[in-house]
């Protein structure tokens, strides 16, 4: 679906996005994870043909992005970081207008509204929508023409837990329909939950690229931390797969002297810090 | 073609919802009636009062020039206002990733309104003109007048970021029309200081009764439009 080869681009004379290569296959959710300013949105703008002054190659759906024609957009749906709706018009009027820009037959507007729980708000002006409602509306706008590829820029950022949950479920539902989904986020929980693979992006470069599971595993297994009393409180760690050889832990268990015991898995956040030396904020 | 048409119709809906813009679009008709009937009437009164043979008549050509520009200026002003409002809602960003594209969007917002104005002027000018107008002149008037509107629209959208600023800039940008006055009121070598205004050449063409001056008018307009388009694209990449 997407092949990127040795891609470079900069807004200024200083190099920014440089030497990026990766590919995304059909039906995959691929995430760009990185702190703000890392170049996630810029990369996405290249892939949707908004930035054409790049070097190297970026192919989407068999088309070199800088050579896109209008047909290119019949199969791409985009949800920007910000709302892109006529604030003065109703949700339905907006969706009707945007669907009229495609040659393809539009999906049913009523059904889409119902799918995101906005069926009773379709005749309200967008300016009267809450932030959560707006992001749901912008999301279904990207689905109007039933595109093969969805590009979502920070789909969950700034949403309350309920709306964030709804958004993630909608994204997973589209994946289940066989869509390829490209999303950017600086939220590692979302990346871990949604993405089949993630690319860590910092300063315009990909620092790591793998499935969230493999990335987490790369740091080694989870560890057990336990504490006990012996002239004051002590604590120790032990990898979970070597518990049986930790004689002290075994002794403490048999003597019922453990104060506390818990296990912790490394999170994608830890991995991100490990690999890039940066936090995700 | 379908996306461009859809986008154009959407603009008409936005215009319809805004009373000021509706007024701007019917203004050419009212101005036309005023020019055709009020000006000669005033001339009669003035002549009767002052005992001079003619007062306004030597400037009738100027009225025709302004009338040839006003439809386009008004239509393009309305379009520019819609465009600025849409800019606040990030509509043009979204349109650029649909089959409409940035180019289609620009065509529907600047060039189609200008073309509509061109047709409109072609119809209204033969009705409301004050000087004898051969068809060739009508054509050039409609063309230059309407490209003048494109210049105003592009000036407005490149120099302002919202509707309020847009209205202020429209007033300033409309000054570019006044170039047409120059050949009438400034003596020969001095007047050329304002020759960079396309409207100057239109004025000169009528003032001196030489069609050939339409050539520099069109050429200069093209240069203005190209430069402004480039700036506009840089502003809304
Ligand atoms: N249109 C632009 N012109 C110049 N610089 C830009 C533009 N858009 C973004 N940038 C810069 O590029 C960098 C990356 O931005 P962006 O891709 O939006 O990051 P992210 O989406 O990862 O937060 C930032 O430093 C930003 O200031
Ligand atoms: Mg971003």
Taking residues B175-193, what's their average pLDDT? 87
A39 lines ligand 1 (CB under 6 A): yes
Of the ranges A36-50, A220-234, B5-19, which one carries the lowest mean pLDDT score?
Answer: A220-234
Average confidence (pLDDT) over A164-193: 92
Protein residue closest via CA to atom 5 of ligand 1: A11
Contact of A78 with A142, CB cutoff 8 Å: yes
pLDDT surpassing 90 at residue A208: no
Residue of B nearest to A89 (CA): B14
User: How far is ligand 1, taken at its centre, from the CA of residue A77, in Å?
Assistant: 21
Q: Is the dihedral of CA B213, B218, B221, B227 positive or negative?
A: negative
Q: HSE of A9 in the Cβ direction (CA atoms, 13 Å)?
A: 25
Task: Write a three-state SS string for B47-114.
Answer: HHHHCCCCCCHHHHHHHHHHHHHHHHHHHHHHHHHHHHHHHHCCHHHHHCCCCCHHHHHHHHHHHHHH
Tell me the CA distances in angstroms from A133 to A125, A278, B194, one per residue in order: 11, 33, 54
pLDDT at B189: 87
Q: Determine the structural domain holding residue A238 and report its residue range.
A: 222-264
Q: Are A8 and A55 contacting, i.e. CB atoms less than 8 angstroms apart? A: yes
Entry pTM: 0.84
Return the bridge partners of A9, or none.
Answer: A17
Q: How confident is the model at residue A61 (pLDDT cuts 50, 70, 90)?
A: very high
- Tell me what the pLDDT averaged over chain B comes to: 89
On chain A, the residues whose CB falls within 8 A of the CB of B99 are 70-71, 73-74, 101-103
Mean pLDDT of B144-173: 88
- Quote the tokens at residue A245: 């050889």
Q: How far, in Å, CA of A11 to CA of A49, rounded?
A: 15
- Does one domain contain both A253 and A207? no
What is the pLDDT, as a whole number, of residue B112?
Answer: 92
Strand pairing category for A17-24 and A2-9: antiparallel
Counting the structural domains of chain A, the total is: 2
Asked if B17's CB is within 8 angstroms of A88's CB, the reply is yes
Q: Residue B61 sits in which domain range?
A: 2-235
Q: Evaluate if residue A281 carries a pLDDT over 70.
A: no
Distance, CA A37 to ligand 1 centroid (Å)?
6
* Residue A82 resides in a domain: yes
Three-class SS state of A160: coil
Using one digit for the tens of pLDDT, what is the confidence trace for A12-42?
A: 999 999 999 999 999 999 999 988 889 999 9
- Looking at the predicted structure, is the pLDDT value of residue B237 above 60? no
In a domain, A164, yes or no: yes
Coil, helix or strand at residue B139: helix
For residue A219, what are the contacts with CB-CB under 8 A and spacing of at least 6? Answer: A266, A270, A271, A274
C-beta atoms of A78 and B10 within 8 A: no
A186 and A249 fall within a common domain? no
Strand partners, A260: A227
Q: What is the pLDDT of residue B236?
A: 67
A185 Cα: distance to centroid of ligand 2 (angstroms): 8
On the CB side of A278, how many CA atoms lie within 13 Å of its CA? Answer: 15
Residue A271 lies in a domain: no
* Least Cα separation, residue B174 to chain A (angstroms): 29
Chain B, nearest residue to A51 by Cα: B237
Cβ separation A97–B96 shorter than 8 A: no
Strand partners, B16: none
Distance A38 CA to ligand 2 centre (A): 8
Predicted confidence (pLDDT) per residue in B17-36, tens digit:
999 999 989 999 999 999 88
CB within 8 Å: B97 and A73:
yes
Spatial separation of the C-alpha atoms in residues B196 and B114, rounded to whole Å: 22
Residue A276 lies inside a defined structural domain of this protein: no
Closest partner residue to B96 among A50, A87, A100, by Cβ? A50
Closest CA to B25 of B146, B118, B128, B117: B117
User: B157: distance to nearest CA of chain A, Å?
Assistant: 18
CB of residue A82 inside a 6 A radius of ligand 1: no
Q: For residue A153, which ligand has an atom nearest its CA?
A: 2
Q: Tell me, yes or no, whether A188 and A242 share the same domain.
A: no
Residue B66, pLDDT score? 85
- Give the pair of three-digit tokens for residue B96: 């650029």
Ligand 1 pocket: which of A10, A18, A37 to mutate (most atoms within 8 A of CB): A37
pLDDT at A97 over 80: yes
CA distance A15 to B228: 29
Whole-number Å distance between alpha carbons of A204 and A185: 15
Q: pLDDT tens digits for B120-129? A: 888 998 899 8
Contact assignment for B89 to A100 by CB distance below 8 Å: no
* Cβ(A185) – ligand 1 distance below 6 Å: no
For the segment B9-13, the average pLDDT, to the nearest whole number, is: 95
Same domain, A47 and A129: yes
Q: Looking at the domain assignment, is residue A247 inside a domain?
A: yes
A139-153, A240-254, B3-17: least confidently modelled range: A240-254
- The answer on A89 and A46 residing in a single domain is yes
Ligand 1 contact, A206 CB (< 6 A): no
Distance from CA of B16 to the nearest CA of A (A): 13
Cα of A42 vs centre of ligand 1, distance in Å, is 6
On whether both A58 and A100 belong to a single domain, the answer is yes
| ipTM given for this complex | 0.83
How far does the centroid of ligand 1 lie from the alpha carbon of residue A116, in Å?
31
A53 shares a domain with A17: yes
Residues A110 and A35 reside in one and the same domain: yes
Q: Are A166 and A250 in the same domain?
A: no
CB contact under 8 A, B237 and A84: no
Identify whether residues A36 and A115 lie together within a single domain: yes
pLDDT exceeds 60 at position A154: yes
Q: What pLDDT was estimated at residue A220?
A: 66
Residues in chain B closer than 8 A to A78 (CB atoms): 94, 97
Q: What is the pLDDT of residue B50?
A: 85
**Co-location of A157 and A59 in the same domain:** yes
Residue A186 CB less than 6 A away from ligand 1: no
Number of domains comprising chain B: 1
Contact A49 B100 (CB under 8 A): no
Give the pLDDT of residue B142: 83
Residues A160 and A200 in one domain: yes
Residue A200 lies in a domain: yes
Q: How far is CA B127 from CA B94, B115, B130, in A?
A: 42, 19, 9
Place of tokens 């009267």: A128
Q: How far is B232 from chain A (nearest CA, A)?
A: 16
């Amino acid at each position: 679906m997407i092949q990127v080869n040795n891609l470079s681009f900069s807004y200024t004379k200083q190099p920014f996005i440089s030497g990026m290569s990766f590919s995304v296959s059909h039906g995959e959710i691929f995430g760009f994870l990185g702190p703000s300013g890392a170049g996630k949105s810029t990369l996405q703008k290249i892939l949707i043909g908004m930035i054409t002054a790049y070097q190297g190659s970026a192919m989407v759906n068999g088309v070199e992005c800088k050579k896109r024609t209008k047909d290119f957009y019949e199969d791409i749906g985009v949800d920007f970081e910000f709302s892109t709706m006529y604030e003065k018009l109703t949700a339905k009027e907006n969706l009707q207008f945007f669907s009229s820009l495609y040659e393809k037959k539009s999906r049913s507007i009523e059904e889409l509204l119902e799918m995101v729980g906005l069926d009773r708000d379709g005749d309200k002006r967008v300016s009267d929508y809450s932030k959560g409602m707006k992001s749901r509306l912008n999301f279904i706008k990207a689905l109007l023409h039933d595109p093969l590829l969805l590009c979502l820029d920070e789909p969950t950022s700034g949403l309350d837990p309920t709306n964030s949950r709804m958004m993630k479920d909608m994204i997973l539902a589209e994946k289940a329909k066989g869509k390829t989904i490209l999303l950017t986020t600086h939220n590692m929980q979302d990346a871990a939950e949604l993405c089949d693979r993630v690319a860590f992006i910092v300063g315009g470069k990909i620092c790591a690229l793998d499935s969230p599971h493999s990335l987490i595993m790369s740091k080694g297994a989870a560890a057990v931390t336990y504490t006990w009393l012996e002239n004051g409180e002590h604590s120790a760690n032990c990898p979970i797969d070597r518990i049986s050889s930790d004689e002290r832990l075994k002794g403490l268990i048999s003597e019922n002297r453990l104060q506390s015991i818990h296990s912790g898995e490394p999170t994608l956040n830890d991995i991100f810090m490990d690999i890039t030396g940066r936090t995700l904020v | 073609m379908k996306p461009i048409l859809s986008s154009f119709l959407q603009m008409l809906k936005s215009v319809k919802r805004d009373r000021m813009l509706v007024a701007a679009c019917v203004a050419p008709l009212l101005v036309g009636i005023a020019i055709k009937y009020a000006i000669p009437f005033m001339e009669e009164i003035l002549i009767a009062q002052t005992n001079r043979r003619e007062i306004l008549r030597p400037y009738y050509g100027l009225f025709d020039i302004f009338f040839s520009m006003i439809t386009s200026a008004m239509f393009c002003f309305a379009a520019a206002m819609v465009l600025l409002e849409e800019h606040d809602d990030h509509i043009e960003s979204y349109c650029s990733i649909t089959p409409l594209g940035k180019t289609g969007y620009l065509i529907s917002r600047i060039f189609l309104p200008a073309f509509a104005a061109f047709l409109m002027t072609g119809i209204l000018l033969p009705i409301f003109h004050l000087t004898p107008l051969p068809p060739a002149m009508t054509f050039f008037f409609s063309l230059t007048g309407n490209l003048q509107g494109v210049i105003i629209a592009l000036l407005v959208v490149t120099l302002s970021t919202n509707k309020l600023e847009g209205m202020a800039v429209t007033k300033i940008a409309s000054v570019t029309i006044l170039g047409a006055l120059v050949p009438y009121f400034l003596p020969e070598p001095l007047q050329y200081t304002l020759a960079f205004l396309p409207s100057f050449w239109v004025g000169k063409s009528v003032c001196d009764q030489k069609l050939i001056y339409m050539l520099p008018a069109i050429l200069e307009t093209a240069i203005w439009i190209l430069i402004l388009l480039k700036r506009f694209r840089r502003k809304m990449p």
